[in-house]
Structures are given as structure tokens and as C-alpha cells.
């Protein structure tokens, strides 16, 4: 254990976290707002990348989520970004005739109208976050996304969702994946917090039971990514390197560790397997995924050797969040050391102090590269890493901020 009190109890560290969160928000908002609709992809200098502009569903929805966070923090300009994103989700991505939300939009309409469970999970998260921020259109977005998810994606037998469909709702491929289901569990818990409707939490728990308690437990607290339609692990699968890479992804185990702590709280702190899973996932990901020179390998083979040795920003962000909630909720001994170690790597290697934002990808020599990601692709992961440690570990960021904005938890949130 590192000497002294936990960092999250120190006023200087809490002020640093908030300053970094503000710096990230200022980098993305309002620069990312596209007057033609949706949000620009930003270059490394914080300027919109040249057209033609592509607006992916998860990116639009994540920016709505982040704008809701910024609005709850009371940052000027955030409400306009929230309005802008909510309008584009409903007016552009949504198909009012066939239902569902198109994966990628261009200036003149859909570029890829595939209905992806991954993207729909973030639509639900956007609606839940907007509702907690008091947006007037949140209920209709939550209702529409819920109807589509239950009617088209949800498979009650296994207790999880199918993956991809055509605009006419024909299944694209016989594949099931944990990534979309993990983010749906995140969104379902947020929807439960926003609406109080228990079915959201029940289905999140079913997803976690399948992927974490059944499959990750059987794999020694590694998270199998890819499955057959019968939910048998497919170790040979290798798909898109951004969303469906081969092998295992330590960053997803860290993300699940944090989500399991939240789920344990929301379900009444009764299911001991959830805390066992959180600590097991965290310990395994750190032991097997952390590189000797720092940072988490992007993917590991089933022999636990690095498969893709690049270091992406988002596993470090998820490691920070997991370490913070494990230390706060479960007093996990190693979590404080990991919290400091990961932030040290982020501060030294990932924060771009000249251009702004975080470098999304480092090569084997830890120099910035652009093999999978270009520019500054995302606010979501880095912003959450800054704010999770400032809030109670028993709820989502947006629910915590909404509680603080109402006058509760003000001591915990004070910087």
C-alpha cells in the first residue's frame, strides 16, 4: 500500500481531477458541434477533421451523455450541446418507419443503416443521462430505444441481446458478443436510476450473470469476447480491430469490474458473487494486462501473451474508474496502488498538454501512433476517469451528479 491517505481524499488531487475534466470538456465543446447536425470528429489539434463527415451512432450518443454530465456540472454551453445531440439522434439516426437507429450518418443521410446493438445501448444511455439532466425529450428517447431493444435485440433465453440487423431486421451474421452486452448493462443500470423501473436492472443483472458469473468465472476472470448464437465461447473469432478484436481485452474486464460494484449496490448489496467478480476481474486484468513499461496491452491471446501490444487510452481510463470504486466500496488493498500507477502513466504518456485531449493510441515504444484511431475520437472514457473518483461508488456518474446538483452528497463531491 502506498504511504499516506488515499489520493481521492486529498483536496489537491480532487482539484486536479476536476481541472482535467474541465480541460477535456473545453477541448470537445463547442468545437465538436457540427452546425449541419451531430458532432464532428476532431483532429489532434481539436479542430474538425475535413469533410466528408461521418457521424457514428455511438459517438453521437456518447457526446449526448458527456454533454449531460457537463450540464449537471453547470458548465456554460453544455445545454446547447445536449440539445444539439438529442435532436440529431431523433431526427437523423432514428428511422421512424422501420424503427431503430442507423449506425453511421453522412451529410446526405445514412452511410450505414445497420442496426447495431452496441449503438442502441448508447442511445439508451444518452436518454437516461439526458433525463437525469432534466432534458424535455429524454422520455421519448428512452421509450423508443427500450421498445426497439426489447422487440428486436433481446433474447430472453440466454438473457442478452443479439448483435446486428439490416434496416429490415434480418440478422446480419450468426454472432454474439460481450461488448455490446456490457455497454447495454451499463445503459440499463442508468435507465433504472433515471426511471426507477425495475425491469431495466433485472435485465442488466441477467446479462452480467451470463457473461461475468458464467463465462468470465469459468475463464479465470478473463472476459471472453466472442460467442456463437448459442452463447458458446468462440476463441477463434477475429473481427474488427476496434470493436471485435481477437483474444481477450483487459480493458473490458476493468470496465466490468466497475460495473459490478455499481450493480451490487443497486441490487441491494446481497449477491456476493458480484463483489467477488469485481475483485477477480480487476486483479486478473492488472496482473496479465499491464505492460512492464506501463499501460495496458490492448488485447491478449488465450495464452495471456500480448496479441495487440498497442496501449490505448480507454483501458487506462477504465482501470482508473475500477480502482477508484473498488477502493471506495470494498476497501480493496491493491486498488490504491493501481489507481496511482495508472494515473501516473496517463499523466506521463497519454495527456497531450500541447494539443489537448489525450493521445488515443501509443505504439510499442510508447510514442503516439494512429493505426486504429485518428485524431481525438472520444470524450467519454477520459471524462469518466476524471469524475468517477469524485463521486460515490454506488451509482453512475450522471446519477451521482444529479444527486449532488439537488443538494445531496455535496460533501462527497466537494473539491
Q: Which residues participate in catalysis according to the annotation?
A: 252, 381
* DSSP label of 40: P
Cα distance between residue 128 and residue 187, in whole Å? 8
Cα distance between residue 349 and residue 368, in whole Å? 9
Q: Which SS3 state, helix, strand or coil, does residue 114 take? A: coil
CA angle, corner 170, sides to 166 and 171, nearest 5?
A: 90
CA atoms within 13 A on the CB side of 243: 15
Residue 389 · residue 340 · CB < 8 Å: no
Spatial CA neighbour of 84 closest among 134, 152, 135, 9: 135
Cα distance between residue 45 and residue 56, in whole Å? 21
Cα distance between residue 327 and residue 393, in whole Å? 9
Spatial CA neighbour of 255 closest among 176, 314, 337: 314
Would you give the distance in Å from CA 135 to the centre of its chain?
21
**Length of the chain measured in residues:** 415
Residue 189 · residue 396 · CB < 8 Å: yes
Residue 88 · residue 38 · CB < 8 Å: yes
Q: Hunting for cell 452546425 — which residue is that?
A: 35
Cα distance between residue 188 and residue 193, in whole Å? 9
Q: Which SS3 state, helix, strand or coil, does residue 290 take? A: strand
Q: Hunting for cell 451529410 — which residue is that?
A: 107
Helix (H) or strand (E) holding 104: strand 104-106
Q: CB-based burial of residue 109 (10 Å sphere; 0-12 exposed, 13-18 middle, 19+ buried)?
A: exposed
Q: Which SS3 state, helix, strand or coil, does residue 235 take? A: coil
Amino acid at each position: 500500500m502506498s504511504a499516506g491517505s488515499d489520493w481521492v481524499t486529498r483536496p489537491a488531487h480532487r482539484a486536479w481531477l476536476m481541472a482535467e475534466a474541465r480541460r477535456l470538456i473545453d477541448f470537445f465543446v463547442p468545437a465538436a458541434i457540427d452546425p449541419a447536425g451531430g458532432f464532428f470528429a476532431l483532429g489532434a489539434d481539436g479542430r474538425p477533421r475535413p469533410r466528408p463527415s461521418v457521424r457514428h451512432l455511438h459517438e453521437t450518443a456518447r457526446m449526448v451523455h458527456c454533454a449531460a454530465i457537463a450540464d449537471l456540472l453547470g458548465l456554460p454551453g453544455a445545454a446547447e450541446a445536449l440539445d444539439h445531440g438529442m435532436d440529431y439522434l431523433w431526427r437523423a439516426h432514428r428511422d421512424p418507419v422501420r424503427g431503430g437507429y442507423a449506425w453511421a450518418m453522412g451529410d446526405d443521410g445514412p452511410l450505414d443503416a445497420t442496426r447495431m446493438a452496441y449503438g442502441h445501448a448508447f442511445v439508451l444511455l444518452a436518454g437516461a443521462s439526458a433525463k437525469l439532466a432534466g432534458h424535455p425529450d429524454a422520455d421519448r428517447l428512452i421509450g423508443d430505444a427500450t421498445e426497439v431493444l426489447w422487440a428486436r435485440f433481446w433474447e430472453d433465453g440466454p438473457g442478452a441481446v443479439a448483435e446486428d440487423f439490416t434496416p429490415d431486421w434480418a440478422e446480419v451474421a450468426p454472432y454474439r458478443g460481450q461488448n455490446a452486452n456490457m455497454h447495454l448493462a451499463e445503459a440499463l443500470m442508468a435507465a433504472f436510476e433515471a426511471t426507477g423501473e425495475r425491469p431495466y436492472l433485472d435485465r442488466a443483472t441477467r446479462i452480467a450473470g451470463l457473461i461475468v458469473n458464467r463465462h468470465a468465472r469459468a475463464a479465470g476472470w478473463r472476459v471472453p469476447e466472442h460467442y456463437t448464437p448459442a452463447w458458446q465461447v468462440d476463441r477463434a473469432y477475429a473481427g474488427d480491430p476496434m470493436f471485435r478484436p481477437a483474444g481477450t481485452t483487459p480493458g473490458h474486464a476493468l470496465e466490468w469490474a466497475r460495473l459490478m460494484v455499481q450493480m451490487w449496490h443497486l441490487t441491494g448489496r446481497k449477491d456476493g458473487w458480484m463483489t467477488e467478480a469485481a475483485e477477480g476481474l480487476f486483479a486478473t486484468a492488472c496482473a496479465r494486462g499491464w505492460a512492464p513499461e506501463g499501460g495496458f496491452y490492448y488485447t491478449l491471446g488465450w495464452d495471456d501473451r500480448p496479441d495487440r501490444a498497442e496501449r490505448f487510452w480507454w483501458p487506462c481510463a477504465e482501470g482508473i474508474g475500477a480502482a477508484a470504486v473498488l477502493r471506495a466500496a470494498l476497501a480493496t488493498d491493491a486498488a490504491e496502488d493501481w489507481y496511482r500507477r495508472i494515473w501516473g502513466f496517463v499523466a506521463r504518456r497519454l495527456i497531450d498538454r500541447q494539443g489537448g485531449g489525450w493521445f488515443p493510441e501509443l505504439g510499442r515504444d510508447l510514442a503516439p501512433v494512429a493505426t486504429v484511431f485518428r485524431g481525438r475520437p472520444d470524450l467519454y472514457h477520459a471524462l469518466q476517469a476524471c469524475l468517477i473518483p469524485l463521486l460515490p461508488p454506488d451509482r453512475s456518474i450522471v446519477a451521482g451528479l444529479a444527486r449532488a446538483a439537488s443538494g445531496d452528497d455535496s460533501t462527497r463531491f466537494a473539491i
